[in-house]
């Protein structure tokens, strides 16, 4: 089974994902750093940004697999 590209390391009290880990590069990122990388095209085809409650939020691109979603 393929390794999940990005995992969530920390959520805040409301459940918003705040810290992430790229399991390929071993890099740890804040939500803002992850958003910037997605906007720069570093995760093209894997993740995109949604505006949720006025805040840029990284989300997984939909596909047929549930086990590769952020959460």
pLDDT number for residue 63: 67
pLDDT digits (tens, 9 = 90+) for 39-58: 999 999 899 999 999 999 99
Backbone angles phi, psi at 57, to 5 degrees: -130, 125
User: Is 8 a residue whose pLDDT tops 60?
Assistant: yes
Q: What is the arithmetic mean of pLDDT over 55-71?
A: 75
pLDDT number for residue 61: 86
Residue of 17, 21, 5 whose CA lies nearest to 55: 17
In a domain, 48, yes or no: yes
E strands in 1-71:
6-11, 17-22, 28-30, 47-52, 55-60
In a domain, 35, yes or no: yes
pLDDT number for residue 54: 95
- With tokens 């409301």, the residue in question is 14
User: pTM of this prediction?
Assistant: 0.85
Structural domains in the chain (count): 1
Domain that holds residue 39: 6-60
In a domain, 30, yes or no: yes
């Amino acid at each position: 089974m393929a390794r999940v590209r990005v995992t969530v390391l920390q959520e805040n009290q409301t459940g918003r994902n705040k810290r992430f880990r790229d399991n390929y590069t071993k890099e740890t990122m804040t939500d803002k750093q992850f958003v910037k990388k997605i906007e720069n095209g570093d995760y093209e085809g894997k993740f995109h940004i949604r505006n949720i409650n006025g805040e840029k939020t990284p989300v997984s691109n939909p596909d047929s697999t549930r086990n590769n979603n952020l959460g």
